Amino acid sequence: MMKKRLLLIFLFFTLSIPGVYARGTYQEPEAFLAEIFSSAVPEARFIWMTGELKEKVTTLLQHPPSSLRLRYWQKGQRIAWILNEIGKEKPITVGIVVNNGKIETIRVLVFRESRGDEVREAFFTRQFSQASLQKDTQLDRHIDGISGATLSVRALTKLARLALFLSQQVTAK
């Protein structure tokens, strides 16, 4: 009887804590790519983080890139990126499509933090629609924050800038 009560109390408090449900996989990266490219996903390509490019990416992210190469998928001027950036403590996986130098789609695929997942909602992500990069590598628009999700907002904004910057690099080749 006592164990049952403790279990009920534990469940009550666990389920009533805000943010407990924030973690989740909202779309598998493969499903994102299949949706974006209508099931005809192009072969993955890679961009290497070396030399001057690594320095610029480090400046954009405000830390060195976590890997030596980043994978992308390209069909014409349409480029899809699946990127990770730390929110508060854990990586947020985001799918970003850049078309002709502008963000076409940005979507949170996997959110691992306990709070801040409001960044996956359309009211937030639509701010990035058609955003482009200015010469100073800033977005051409202000992105409104979300109270309680500041670090998640920063992470998505960094990734948007990174995807636009990297897209410029691969299309300039």
Does some domain include residue 112? yes
Any domain includes 10: no
Q: What are 132's two structure tokens?
A: 């482009």
Cα distances (Å, whole numbers) of residue 52 to 56, 59, 84, 166 = 6, 11, 21, 13
Residue 88 falls inside a structural domain: yes
Structural domain that includes position 64? 25-171
Model confidence at 7: pLDDT above 50: no
Question: Percentage of the chain with pLDDT > 70?
Answer: 87
User: What pLDDT score was predicted for residue 39?
Assistant: 73
Q: Which pTM value belongs to this model?
A: 0.86
Contact 97, 79 (CB under 8 A): yes
In a domain, 53, yes or no: yes
152: which 2 tokens? 């998640």
Decide which of 4 and 101 is more confident: 101
pLDDT at 18: 45
CA distances from 62 to 40, 44, 96, 98 (A): 35, 26, 20, 22
